[in-house]
Amino acid sequence: GLDVHYPYESRYLYEDVAASGVLFSEYPPGTEPAPGHFPVRNRILSGLSLAALVVEAPERSGALITAMTALEQGRDVFAVPGPIDAPTSVGCNRLIRDGAGLVTDASDILREYEGRFTLDLKEAREEPETLGYQARTVPEPKPVAPALSLSRGDVELTDDQIAILKALSDTEPMQVDDLTELVDIPTRRVLSALTVLEIDQYVVQHAGKHYTRAVTLTE
C-alpha cells in the first residue's frame, strides 16, 4: 500500500518522489508487503518504461526477471558489461551476448531514440565515459540485536524458511545467490522466503542483498 514504507530505509526516497513525481500501487492503503507482490511490481516497472537498463545482475536475480518481462512486453533491453569472472555481471554479459544493447555511457541509450525525441546528444556525450562498475564486495555487517531463541514448535515455518535459517550465519552476511546454491531451492522461492523472514524479523538484510540470521534455531 502507498502508506507502507518497505524497506523502511527508503522512506526518504518515497518522500522525494511524492514531492516531484507520482506514487501509485495496485493495492489498497495498509496492504503489507508479500512475496507475490514483487514479481507483479517488476512487470509494472518494465511495462511503464520505454526500455530497461540492467546495471548488475547475478545469474539468477530480480533484475533478470524484469529484463525478461520487458522483452515479453516488447520493450528494449540494455545492459552494462562487466568482468567475465564477476558473479554480479553474469546476467548482464549474457543479455548482451543474446542481443541486448551494450551501454558504456548515457549516449549509448539516447542515440537509440534520437529520431523519436528531441535530444541533445552533444550534452549527453559530456557525461562520464562509463557508468562505472562495482565488483561485488562483502559489506561490513550491520550491528544487530542479540539473537533470539526460536524453536520450530514456537512458530509455523515452511520447509524453505527452515532450510534458509539453518544455512544463514548470524555473523557473516551471505549473498542471495550463494544462499540459493547452498540450500538448492529455486531463486524465486528463496526470495519469497527471505521477504517473509525479514518482515517477521528472523533475518536481517544488509547492503548488496546480503543476509544474516537474527534468531537461533533449536529443535
- pLDDT the model gives residue 148: 44
Work out the percent of the chain whose per-residue pLDDT is above 90.
30
C-alpha cell at 29: 492503503
Q: 148-218: same fold as 33-125?
A: no
Q: What is the pLDDT of residues 38-82, one digit of tens each?
A: 878 888 889 999 999 999 999 888 889 899 999 999 999 999 999
Q: What is the pLDDT of residues 175-206, one digit of tens each?
A: 888 898 899 888 878 888 888 888 888 999 88
Q: What is the mean pLDDT of residues 84-90?
A: 92
Q: What is the pLDDT of residues 102-136, one digit of tens each?
A: 999 888 888 888 777 765 655 555 544 444 444 44
Domain covering 33-125: architecture = 3-Layer(aba) Sandwich (3.40)
Q: Where are the domains of the chain?
A: 33-125, 148-218
38-58: b (≥16 Cβ within 10 Å) or e: ebeebbeebeeeeebbbbbbb
Mean pLDDT of the chain: 81
Hey, which CATH number is domain 148-218, 3.40.50.1980, 1.10.10.10, 3.40.50.620, 1.10.1140.10? 1.10.10.10
Cα separation, 34 vs 199, in Å, equals 9
> Residue 102 in 3-state DSSP?
strand
Q: What is the mean pLDDT of residues 155-177?
A: 87
Q: What is the DSSP string of 120-182?
A: -HHHHHTS-S---------PPPPP-PPPEEEETTTS---HHHHHHHHHS-SSS-EEHHHHHHH
Q: DSSP assignment, residue 106?
A: H
pTM of the full predicted structure?
0.51
CB 191 within 8 A of CB 35: yes
C-alpha cell at 60: 539468477
